[in-house]
Amino acid sequence: MELLFTLMATVVALGLLVTIHEYGHFWVARRCGVKVLRFSIGFGPALYTWHDRRGTEYAIAAIPLGGYVKMLDEREGPVPAAELGQAFNRKPVGQRIAIVAAGPVANFLLAIAAFWLIAVLGVTTLVPVLGPVEADTPAARAGLHENLELIAIDGEPTPSWHDVNLQLIRRLGETGVLKVEAQERDGGSPQIYAVQLDSWLKGAEEPDPLAALGMASWQPKVAPRIGQVEPGGAAERAGLQPGDLIVAVNGEPVSDWVSDVVPAIQANPQKKLLLDIERDAKQVELELIPAAKAQNDEVLGYIGAGVAGFEWPADMMREIHHNPLAAVPVALQKTWGMTALTLDSLKKMLTGLVSAKNLSGPITIAKVAGASAKSGLESFLSFIAYLSISLGVLNLLPVPVLDGGHLVYYVAELIRGKPLSERIQTWGLQIGLSLIVGVMLFAIYNDISRLGG
């Protein structure tokens, strides 16, 4: 059932992104007087087709990993003399540029619409307040400490932990000063803390920016009561049941899930732990052997159990919403910020500041689609916006086969006054196709490696 849900979320997300992208090409092509022969969502055999009054065939194909708009073009076959004026290749170069650019532009417009809707609907988020700061770390050396609320990073407001993490990600691989503005939760004036970075997390395969600085989010005290037990996991084998309250580990009393129980489990992979359990007002002793799980070059204990639900204090929650008019600049700013972050990340990946292992393929996209859909509408809309921006940016890269490659050809034609030779365009197509296939295979390899890990 979970797999089916993930597949459905993936199909909905990719279907929407592809449809919007291709509709951008289609809409501008029609306005420029180009005859559209086919509008396909997906590749491969058509599952369903229909035609409109202008003769355009619409198709939903079997492989939902892309799509295309096929236009009348003399380079792809004979064109009747009466229809030459509707051929794409006969249109002025300015119109061809507009048609090609319309797909990525449509993706950016989709992201703006998604961010606008999120801003109008509003979100409830955790206030970014620091928990314990680890000693002798960049954060500790800068003077940051527990119970500080993070107000801004590098001058950008951070009303939520999501915003904090985004600002930290922007600095991956860099050397310099990270300016953190924070203030005490019980009042006082905001202060600027200068965190020194030195090739920070350069080349890290699974960077955890917050932990790498020595910071953690504030957590309420959580009673170590079991909420759910994973079938076949170490917890089930030990006899743990939902509702059990862990009162001691190896004879040491425990009262908090996060600070007491989790560290004890993670520090003892494949080692026996004695648990004192309170169950139905009775004391029970169990032997638990955590499984081993690799994470960030470490082997941690893992038992396959989750803590029972708990409520956050009201003063640690924040409501963020905007009226429809005020939401417009918010959406524009978020789209611009994510576009800049995507471009910066690509540059850092090419220069080695960010590991290429962070490149994700269809498997990771599917996992994130399913997880975001489970988390609610706001999370799923955010995922669609981020993915749409990534699709728009990638399609504008100056690589033949992609929209950006075609734009390079047409801009060159605009400057030269005539098209590039067929031979140059064919070479570019072959190089671009090889590059895209190589990158896709590498991304899929990364996905499979993560599954193996």
Q: Tens digits of per-residue pLDDT, 4-22?
A: 888 888 888 988 999 999 9
Domain ranges within the chain, ordered by starting residue: 2-119+382-398+412-452, 138-212, 226-311
Q: What is the pLDDT confidence band of residue 360, given thresholds at 50, 70 and 90? A: confident
For residue 452, CA distances in Å to 6, 115, 320, 446 come to 19, 34, 39, 10
CATH dotted code for 226-311: 2.30.42.10
Active site positions, annotated? 22
Higher confidence at residue 383 or residue 439?
383
Region label for 232, one of left (φ > 0), alpha (ψ between -120 and 50) or beta (otherwise): left
- Band of the pLDDT at 183, cuts 50, 70, 90? very high
Residues 411-433 have pLDDT tens digits of 998 998 888 888 888 898 888 88
Which H helix or E strand runs over 71? Answer: strand 57-71
Residue 1 has pLDDT above 70, yes or no: no
Whether 40 and 61 have beta carbons less than 8 Å apart is answered as yes
First-to-last CA distance in the chain? 23
Entry field: residues in the chain: 453
Question: Domain 138-212 - what CATH class?
Answer: mainly beta
Tell me the pTM: 0.85
Amino acid identity for residue 127 in this structure = V
Amino acid at 11: V
Of residues 246 and 426, more confidence is placed in 246
Confidence of residue 296 (pLDDT cuts 50, 70, 90): low
- Confidence category of residue 103, pLDDT binned at 50, 70, 90: very high
Domain 138-212 and domain 226-311 have a common topology: yes
In the numeric block, which tokens belong to residue 206? Answer: 């699974």
The stretch 334-348 carries a mean pLDDT of 93
CA R_g for the chain: 27
Is residue 429 classed as helix, strand or coil in its secondary structure?
Answer: helix
Residue 266, pLDDT above cutoff 80: yes
**453 pLDDT tier (thresholds 50, 70, 90):** low
Percent of the chain exceeding pLDDT 90 equals 62
Which residue shows structure tokens 């993490």? 165
Q: State yes or no: pLDDT of 2 exceeds 80.
A: no
Residue 66: pLDDT band (50, 70, 90) is: confident
Q: What is the pLDDT of residues 208-232, one digit of tens each?
A: 899 999 999 998 888 999 999 999 9
Q: Residue 115 and residue 105: Cα distance in Å, rounded?
A: 16
The whole-angstrom separation of Cα 303 and Cα 264 is: 11
Digit-coded pLDDT (tens) for 385-415 = 999 999 999 999 999 889 999 999 999 989 9
pLDDT computed for residue 73 by the predictor: 92
Q: Please, are residues 224 and 305 in contact by the beta-carbon 8 Å criterion?
A: no
